[in-house]
Amino acid sequence: MTETAIKTRWHPTRTNLFAGGLVAAGLLLTNTSWWFLLLTAAGAFGPGVLRELGWLRDKDEFQRLAAYRAGYHAYVTSGLVAFFLVAFFRSSETTIDYPQELATLFLALLWFTWFLSSLIAYWGPQRAAARILSSFGCVWFVFAVVSNIGAEWTGWAALLLHPLLAAPFFALAWLSGRWPRVTGVLLLAVSGFFVQFFGMFRQDHLAIVNQAVTFVLFIGPLVGSGIALVAAGAGQAEDDDETETKKKPAQKG
């Protein structure tokens, strides 16, 4: 599958636009009632259900394979987290005070993993990593600015320093297209640093679930892009080795 072919496949269809509208409408209307979140569910999972029933045929073989692969990644990731939480709760006296937070965690984890894997399948690891990191960098930059103005104002120091948290996204997005494996390792290292910096998962109570949602949304792009780039760099190195091996006999002849 060439890069040009992949580009031509990545375009919004009527189904995508309608599903995206349902997702956005459901999220916006949750301010009035959380039952409207079911609209978001319909937009996110409805097209997939219709495709599996054979009522919607809007994807070719490449797109179906990418969707199935993304679904498997979401299954593996959510399964590992589920086993960890079962072991955590069974081995301690911790109780669940806010079960809705646990449900939110798995929804965020499932959806985010599928979305990230889909983008990597369509764009390739390097381009996907650059675009994902740049997008999340912009989102967190705006969020940091908005969180420090108006009623949230705490001083110029916070306004100038908090947006710097978005800097790693932009710097590593630039590096990803040049040194994928090195950038992947750096992304994983930066992820570990942020986990320590924010003190995630140090509490003995269910605050770790709230922190886990933040981990998925903030650290998730770094971890996912890092793993994809390390794997891409390894594959690239193997291809280079094979090319060099094939060239040697030709040079001798």
Residue 167, CA atoms < 13 Å, CB-side half-sphere = 6
Tell whether the model's pLDDT for residue 50 goes beyond 70. Answer: yes
Tell whether the model's pLDDT for residue 59 goes beyond 60. Answer: yes
pLDDT band at 8 (very low <50, low <70, confident <90, very high): very low
Long-range contacts of 61-67 (CB under 8 A, 24+ apart): 62/1, 62/6, 62/9, 63/9, 65/121, 66/118, 66/121, 66/122, 67/118
**From CA 37, how far away is CA 34, in angstroms rounded?**
6
**From CA 129, how far away is CA 217, in angstroms rounded?**
15
**From CA 9, how far away is CA 63, in angstroms rounded?**
8
pLDDT tens digits, 199-241: 666 655 455 666 677 778 778 888 888 888 888 766 555 554 5
- Please tell me the predicted confidence (pLDDT) of residue 95: 67
**Regarding predicted confidence, which is higher, 206 or 109?**
109
**From CA 149, how far away is CA 12, in angstroms rounded?**
36
pTM for this predicted structure: 0.70
Helix 180-197 vs helix 125-146: angle between axes, to the nearest 10 degrees? 30
% the chain with pLDDT above 70: 77
